[in-house]
Amino acid sequence: MTRFEPNLRIPGPTALPPSVREAGGRQMVNHRGDEFKALLGRVDEGMRPYFGTSGRVILLTCAGTGALEAAVVNTLSPGDAVLAVTMGAFGDRFAAIAETYGAVVTRLPVDWGRAAEPEAVRQAAAAIPNLKAVLLTHNETSTGVANELEPLASAIRDVAPDALLLVDAISAMGAVPFAMDAWGLDLVVTGSQKAWMSAPGMAMAALSPRAWAATETARMPRFYLDLRRHRDTAVNGETPWTPAVAVLYQVDEGLRLMQAEGDGVFARHEACAAMTRAGLRALGFELLADDDVASKTVTAAWIPDDLDWKAFNGALKRRGLVLAGGQGKLKGKIFRVGHLGSVTTDDILAALGTLEAALVELGRDVAPGVAVTAAQRALLAAARTPAGVA
């Protein structure tokens, strides 16, 4: 069957709304001129409420990983003691970056599929003398688990008030409420290709006054990602190096769409997550994350032993549904459904309908309509809650 647009259900890059695609095709401007200055200012201001910060949002031309690297090299020195709370592949990556630059990293591994426990984090932080920083993941994309950052931050502050809290919020910020300043986080990063409905190529970072102070004493080497250069040029409406102007056009347009939708953005992600979970369960899939720690932007499910994933995924792809596989030690064991950015509740119904059809094609004992029915019910339930969709 011909499908003219794939149903791209991976946790980034996410599908672009038509107006965002058009924005990316606009003519270039002088990146040292007034139009660019206005654009940069608009995106900085537009991003702040989603970060929950009154400070400047720095726009970097790089993948999300580049912003994780920026977080490390701008605040730390070789030999610094760092606690990495890791609950999946992206937490491990953050820890590896800090190690690469010479930090002395202690890992607190959390079972994949579970969230970090404030008490365990408190104990781990208390056990490290001169703890300089804690690396935290907001939303672990490899497992579909979300951490509650506020209790984690306060547990760390109890025992290590001077430790900097560096947060990978790449895959859920913009899709869920976030309050960097109120939660006491020091350096938070995200990336254009996740909830921001834009192409890959830009990452954003915001820093607390403590984190800015740390940039003056940190001794890890940095040049391209030196956040002080970005801050100092941003004052004049510029970036230190030539930015990904086309991606910035897109982020600007994505923000305009998000602002028009208001809190509906968060309700839509809640509903899509609930629908995905209900639908997958109705098909007999076991989910990695329990409901209370489940991500609002990505859902991971175990591949049953008796399901031939290659044949199944092939049947999905022929129908235009693109899912993500597992990463790291979960490769071949799970699949992931992304539901962030420009996702609609109808996209989720379509994805679940495709999953049903593929399972039927493979001769599995699945009643056509069960997943879609379960998802419709979850949508109605979500609409009845105060945060639900209208």
Nearer to ligand PLP, 53 or 171 (CB): 171
Smallest gap from Cβ 33 to ligand PLP, in A, equals: 28
**What is the number of the residue whose Cβ is closest to ligand PLP?**
64
Segment interacting with ligand PLP, rule: CB under 6 A, options 104-112, 164-172, 218-226, 310-318: 164-172
Touching ligand PLP, residues 72-91 (CB under 6 A)? 90
For ligand PLP, give the closer residue by CB, 141 or 239. Answer: 141
Count the neighbouring beta carbons within 10 Å of the beta carbon of residue 154: 13
Task: Provide, rounded to whole angstroms, the least separation between the CB of residue 145 and ligand PLP.
Answer: 11
- Give CB contacts under 8 A, 24+ apart, made by 361-366: 361/315, 362/307, 362/308, 362/311, 362/312, 362/315, 364/307, 366/283, 366/284
Instruction: For the beta carbon of residue 236, count every other beta carbon within 10 angstroms.
Output: 9
Range in contact with ligand PLP (rule: CB under 6 A) among 31-39, 165-173, 215-223, 250-258:
165-173
Task: Write out the binding residues for ligand PLP, residues 18-77 only, by CB under 6 A.
Answer: 63-65
Q: Does 12 bind ligand PLP (CB under 6 A)?
A: yes
Query: What's the rounded Cα separation, in Å, for the pair 299 and 139?
Result: 11
> CB 91 → ligand PLP: shortest distance, Å?
8
| Shortest separation between residue 80's beta carbon and ligand PLP, angstroms | 21
| Other beta carbons less than 10 A from residue 223's beta carbon | 9
Tell me if 353 contacts ligand PLP by CB under 6 A: no
Q: Which is nearer to ligand PLP, 301 or 324 (CB)?
A: 324
Q: Give the span between the Cα atoms of 129 and 72, in whole angstroms.
A: 19
Give the closest residue to 331 by CA, choosing from 133, 155, 88. 88
- Enumerate long-range contacts of 308-311, CB under 8 Å, 24 or more apart: 308/362, 309/335, 311/362
**Tokens read off for 326:** 């597992």
Shorter beta-carbon distance to ligand PLP: residue 167 or 375: 167
- Side-by-side strand order, sheet with 298-302: 7-9, 321-325, 334-338, 298-302
Scanning 111-119, 154-162, 166-174, 325-333 for contacts with ligand PLP by CB under 6 A, the matching segment is 166-174
Q: How far is the CB of 191 from ligand PLP (least distance, A)?
A: 5
Q: Between 137 and 345, whose beta carbon lies closer to ligand PLP? A: 137
Rounded least distance, CB 185 to ligand PLP, Å? 15
Contacts of 8 (CB under 8 A, 6+ apart): 14, 15, 322, 338
Closest CB 355 distance from ligand PLP, rounded Å: 23
Among 74, 75, 86, 141, binds ligand PLP (CB under 6 A): 141
Segment interacting with ligand PLP, rule: CB under 6 A, options 168-176, 209-217, 227-235, 308-316: 168-176
Token pair recorded at residue 2: 């011909």
Total residues binding ligand PLP (CB under 6 A): 13
Q: Mark residue 185 as left, alpha or beta (left: phi above 0; alpha: psi -120 to 50; beta: remaining).
A: beta
Under rule CB under 6 A, residue 375 binds ligand PLP: no
Nearest to 227 by CA among 211, 243, 242: 211
In 3D space, the residue among 218, 345, 260 whose CA is nearest the CA of residue 19 turns out to be 260
Q: Give ∠ CA 208-209-210 in degrees, rounded to 5.
A: 85
- The residue (of 39 and 68) whose beta carbon lies closer to ligand PLP is 68
* Closer by beta carbon to ligand PLP, 74 or else 137: 137
Closer residue to ligand PLP in complex, CB, 200/325 = 200
For residue 272, what is the enclosing H or E element? helix 264-282
Say if residues 173 and 190 touch (Cβ distance below 8 Å): yes
Write out the binding residues for ligand PLP, residues 194-253 only, by CB under 6 A: 200
Cβ of residue 64: shortest distance to ligand PLP, in angstroms?
A: 3
Evaluate whether 123 touches 134 at the Cβ level (below 8 Å). Answer: no
Binding mask 119-138 for ligand PLP (x = CB under 6 A): ------------------x-
Task: Give the shortest CB-205-to-ligand PLP separation in angstroms.
Answer: 13
Q: Which residues bind ligand PLP (CB under 6 A)?
A: 12, 63-65, 90, 137, 139, 141, 168, 170-171, 191, 200
